[in-house]
Amino acid sequence: MLVEDISKDMSRLVEAADWMHSEARSSAKLKADNLQFIIGYPMDLLNDTFLDAQYKQNNLAVDSFLHNMMVVHKQIEEETFRKYRSEFKGADYTSVNAMVVEVNAYYVPNVLGLPLGILQEPVFNSERPQYMNYGGIGYVIGHESSHGFDENGRLVNHNGTLEMWWDEDTLSSFQEKVRCMVEQYSNITNKDTNVTVNGVLTQSENIADNVGIKLAYRAYQRHVAAHGPEPRIPLRFPDGSSLELSPNQMFWVSFAYFQCAKLSPQELDRTMRTE
């Protein structure tokens, strides 16, 4: 399955990471192999006893949206504060906030969540050519799993508990490589608004994007090697012209299609500065 393909490639990638010391590399491998997935929704959502206990304090009103939002947010805040003093026992329903219908994916320590909302077109559909799925949800899985090995991920070990599992040398090799990425992205300017990407604040997301697409492309190549090449589809335009693209080229088109969005100039500036 696609999820397994990509996570296996993450393990292969960390095994080959020459900038990590051998001890850090084996911890990284353990961490990659330990990654858990919540696909669609957490299983807790099917447990009535759990849900009744979880929400029994909440007095929701049938006629006040504001009241209900305040009750729910108060509960989320209280949960968060309660967790500060309790031992981490793995991510559950309360820590992932169960964003079932959100078109997003998330990474919390050692758990990668793919809510139902993102498991649809243009990101995923089991019936369509696999190059589209690898260029869509495949990239998302690669992106999220790479967060386990970045500036924040280095502070959390394979059990999901706080531990700096990198030695000094591994950290400085990482920072040297990151400098390269920071420099590359700091050179991108939107000519219309004259805003330049903040390469420092956006570094984790840029690393995740690079790792994500690399893993997805590799996993797709393995998929083709195992199942044989996918048929080419000639794209025909209304004027009768056509564009013949190979499945590998369609992988990149699918990725670009899913990334394509219309942003207001203000939102574009914000993402260039922070994401």
Region binding Zn ion by CB under 5 A among candidate stretches 85-93, 204-212, 243-251, 253-261? 204-212
Whose tokens are 């004259």? That residue is 194
Residue 119 contacts Zn ion per CB under 5 A:
no
Q: Where does this chain touch Zn ion (CB under 5 A) — which range of 149-157, 175-183, 200-208, 249-257? A: 200-208
- State how far the Cα of 213 lies from the Cα of 38, in Å rounded to an integer: 21
Pick the stretch among 2-10, 82-90, 198-206, 223-231 that binds Zn ion (CB under 5 A). 198-206
> Of 133 and 146, which CB lies nearer to Zn ion in the complex structure?
146
User: Using CB under 5 A, which of 207, 208, 219, 250 touches Zn ion?
Assistant: 208
Residue 143 CB, nearest approach to Zn ion (Å):
6
Shortest Cβ 207–Zn ion spacing (Å): 9
Task: Name the residue nearer to Zn ion (CB basis): 142 or 160.
Answer: 142
Partnered with residue 113 across adjacent β-strands are: 38, 106
- Compare residues 17 and 208 and give the one whose CB is closer to Zn ion: 208
User: Which two three-digit tokens encode residue 22?
Assistant: 């051998």
State which H helix or E strand residue 140 sits in: helix 139-146
132: nearest Cα among 249, 27, 32: 249
**Catalytic annotation present for 209:** yes
Are β-strands 36-40 and 111-115 bridged in parallel, bridged antiparallel, or unpaired? parallel
Tokens 């574009």 found at: 268
Nearest residue to Zn ion, by Cβ distance, number only: 208
In angstroms, rounded to a whole number, what is the distance separating the alpha carbons of residues 61 and 65? 8
Using CB under 5 A as the binding rule, whether residue 211 contacts Zn ion is answered as no
Q: Where are the alpha helices (DSSP H) in the chain?
A: 2-15, 22-34, 48-55, 65-83, 93-96, 130-133, 139-146, 168-185, 203-227, 247-259, 265-274
* 31 vs 223 by CB, closer to Zn ion: 31
Q: Is 92 a catalytic residue?
A: no
CB of 205 to Zn ion, least distance (A): 5
Please say which residue, 137 or 250, places its beta carbon nearer to Zn ion: 137
Nearer to Zn ion, 14 or 112 (CB): 112
Contact 103, 90 (CB under 8 A): no
Tell me how far, at minimum, the Cβ of 105 lies from Zn ion, in Å: 8
- Least Å from the CB of residue 122 to Zn ion: 19
**DSSP string covering 63-128:** S-HHHHHHHHHHHHHHHHHHHTTS------HHHHTT-TT-S--EEETTEEEEEGGGSSTTT--TTS
Looking at 144, 150, 205, 230, which residue is catalytic? Answer: 144
* Shortest distance in whole angstroms from residue 203 CB to Zn ion: 11
Whether the CB-CB separation of 186 and 197 falls below 8 Å is answered with yes
Residues that bind Zn ion (CB under 5 A): 205, 208
Catalytic residues: 144, 209
